[in-house]
Amino acid sequence: MIQSQKHLQTKSSPAQFSGTSPQLTVDLGALVSNFNTLRNAAQQSGSTCAGVLKANSYGMGYERVAEALWAEGCKTFFVALVGEGVKLRGLFPKATIYVLSPYLSLDADLLREYHLIPCLYDLDGIDLWIAANGTAAPAALHFETGINRLGLSTQDLEQLLSNRSRLNKLDLKLIMSHLSSADEQQSEHNQQQLEAFKRIRNEFPNTPASLANTAGVFLGTEYHFDLVRPGIGLYGHDPHYYENQGSRLKPVATFAAPLAQVKNLKAEEAVGYGATKLDRDSTIGVILCGYADGVMRALFKPDSKEGHQVSINGYKAPILGRVSMDMITIDLTTIPKEARAIGSMVEIFGNHSPVENAAAMAGTSAYELFTRVSGRAVRKYV
Ligand SMILES: *Cc1c(COP(=O)(O)O)cnc(C)c1O
């Protein structure tokens, strides 16, 4: 064991840590509570609630997140890539697993072998999937209504309907589309996409339909159809947080790293790359995480010397100095000595330092901050 780790392993306080890795603590109780909030909203219109687990469950880990949702009665999962679906299938032999971004010319065999349902988005993909399966190929059809990412176009829809030979060979499980602007409650795109999706749905009266992501669930019952597909809400971010100035969901993730060193510096001294000059005599703390762990450099603005407020033992402390690969420096000047012991875990985002604040400062979203948390961080579940 290295020397520094030894002195960081003091047992005097429960806030102390037992290793030098940054930690992403996932509150599974809060996750389940968020699932129930979204499921209850969906149930008002008779809609079922699935869970979106792409990107390692938004950085929080497939296995434990999926287990918690499954135990709560969530039986349908969405992932982005076929490899994610294969991983999930190993854990849940009976789950319904949709793959949002299948690439049929390469993925057809794995999709079949692992009983994954592709969300097909072009005619070529449909043809390849039918060829791989013979008849009754289990599939979702993903239609374009305005986001213009993956999706069958209006012309594709016309072709499918004018000669129904393709549709006849599919075991159609779901028709779906995706909203571009559901996080903006007043955006006219929402209503436009809703109307476009309703027109498509009229052509498939006997097939379950799905439009809403998390934000869509909160837009109202007319967006729910038969199945809703929340992702980010499960993980604790309310997409209308900024517009509503608050959250209807519970924070799930706490990202924290240990305080390794504290130093007293004079006003003329500097910290970090680029030598950010101190404006006053300061107490600076060094934390063992950095941009390699997903802490964005944009969380400190060198020109204004403004930094995201992290928290340490309940006190707020701004990042001061540029974020390095494995270290960040924070301003502890006004924090009482007993609240800044070496080894204290410093929260970058979580209950005390909302991820929404960090996202706003970095000019990004909670989605990006969650999924940026690196593999180096230890995932803990409570
Ligand atoms: C990511 C994704 C979702 C989940 O969206 P959230 O905003 O995280 O709730 C749902 N549907 C599709 C097609 C997606 O790509």
Burial annotation 5-35 (CB, 10 A radius, 16+ → b, else e): eeebeeeeeeebbeebbbbbbbbbebbbbbb
- pLDDT at site 17: 45
Best residue among 31, 52, 79, 119 to mutate for probing ligand 1, ranked by most atoms within 8 Å of CB:
52
Atom in ligand 1 nearest the alpha carbon of residue 239: 7
The CA 180 to ligand 1 mean position distance, Å, reads 10
Per-residue pLDDT at 11 exceeds 60 = no
Q: Which position has the token pair 């680029």?
A: 274
Q: Are 339 and 262 in contact (CB under 8 A)?
A: no
Kindly state if the Cβ of 213 falls inside 6 Å of ligand 1: yes
- Identify the band that residue 135 occupies on the pLDDT scale cut at 50, 70 and 90: confident
Q: What is the pLDDT of residues 345-368, one digit of tens each?
A: 999 999 999 999 999 999 999 999
What would the pLDDT profile of 174-193 be if each residue is shown by its tens digit?
Answer: 999 999 999 999 999 999 99
The pLDDT of residue 287 is 97
- The arithmetic mean of pLDDT across residues 43-69, rounded, is 97
Q: Residue range 216-242: average pLDDT?
A: 98
DSSP-based three-state secondary structure for 217: helix
pLDDT at 323 over 90: yes
- Percent of the residues in the chain that have a pLDDT greater than 90, as a whole number: 94
Question: And the tokens for 376?
Answer: 């180096």
pLDDT of residue 97: 98
User: Across all residues in the chain, what is the average pLDDT?
Assistant: 94
Rg (C-alpha) for the chain, rounded Å, is 24
Q: Whose CA is nearest to atom 13 of ligand 1?
A: 178
Task: Please give the share of the chain, as a percent, with pLDDT higher than 70.
Answer: 95
Instruction: Tell whether ligand 1 has an atom less than 6 A from the beta carbon of residue 211.
Output: no
| Rounded-to-integer distance, Cα 320 and Cα 109, Å | 52
345 lines ligand 1 (CB under 6 A): no
Alpha helices of 306-365 — where are they, by DSSP H? Answer: 355-362
Instruction: Output the CA 52–ligand 1 centroid distance in Å.
Output: 7
Pocket test for ligand 1, best of 176, 229, 355 (most atoms within 8 A of CB): 229
Which residues are marked as active site? 54, 273
Query: How far apart are the CA of 260 and the centre of ligand 1, in A?
Result: 38
Query: What is the C-alpha to C-alpha distance for residues 224 and 215, in angstroms, rounded to an integer?
Result: 11
- pLDDT tens for 243-299 read 999 999 999 999 999 999 999 999 999 999 999 999 999 999 999 999 999 999 999
Structure confidence at residue 337 as a pLDDT band (50, 70, 90): very high
Burial of 170 (0-12, 13-18, 19+ CB in 10 A): buried
Strand partners, 228: 49
